Amino acid sequence: MRLNELSPVPGSRKPRKRLGRGIGSGLGKTSGRGHKGAKARSGAKAHLAYEGGQMPLQRRLPRLKGTARGLHTPARPMLYAPVNLRELAKLSGDEIGIEELRSAGLVGKKEVSVKILGDGEIGRAVVVRAHAFSKTAKEKIEAADGSVEVLGW
């Protein structure tokens, strides 16, 4: 089989409608558009939201806060890179900061703020520096005679 021998499946391709080609074609004179009205005219077609002069639905409904049609954009939430205590327990050293987490591969280069979460246990006293701590993480670190330091932005 060669490229010049390929052909579409019979019946899969229809010839295009040839409009305005005389009475005998069945699509002459009005070319299948009927008589008069917005849909018969060129350019002035009735769009989907047109309701015959009645106020359209999208103009009847009130504007909602924070949407594309609203007047303001909602504030972006603060995004944290989460790190669990069980991952901190695997790291060596008495002081754990953002740079140590990056070098261990727990935090990516682009991630700016880090939050320590309380899933897992830490069995030794460490000083942990991060932007935020969950309540349970803070309690578990302090229970192991460690301390937490909240970093500024």
Decide if 134 contacts 116 (C-beta within 8 A). yes
- Within-domain flag for 73: no
- Within-domain flag for 126: yes
In the predicted structure, residue 86 carries a pLDDT above the cut 90: yes
Residue 57 CA to residue 68 CA, distance in Å, equals 16
pLDDT digits (tens, 9 = 90+) for 91-140: 988 999 999 999 999 998 887 899 999 999 998 999 999 999 999 999 99
pLDDT band for position 150 (50/70/90)?
A: very high
Domain that includes residue 119, residue range: 81-150
- The CATH number of the domain holding residue 118 is 3.100.10.10
- Within-domain flag for 96: yes
β-bridge mates for residue 124, sequence order: none
β-bridge mates for residue 82, sequence order: 115
- Within-domain flag for 100: yes
Please give the C-alpha separations between residue 38 and each of 3, 45, 50, 53, 94, in angstroms, as whole numbers: 47, 5, 11, 12, 78
Identity at 119, one-letter amino acid code: D
- Within-domain flag for 143: yes
pLDDT of residue 45: 62
- Within-domain flag for 75: no
What is the pTM for the complete model shown? 0.52
pLDDT of residue 134: 95
- Within-domain flag for 85: yes
Sheet-wide strand order for 114-117: 81-84, 114-117, 132-133
pLDDT digits (tens, 9 = 90+) for 34-81: 998 878 887 666 677 888 789 988 889 887 765 555 555 556 777 889
User: How many structural domains does the chain have?
Assistant: 1
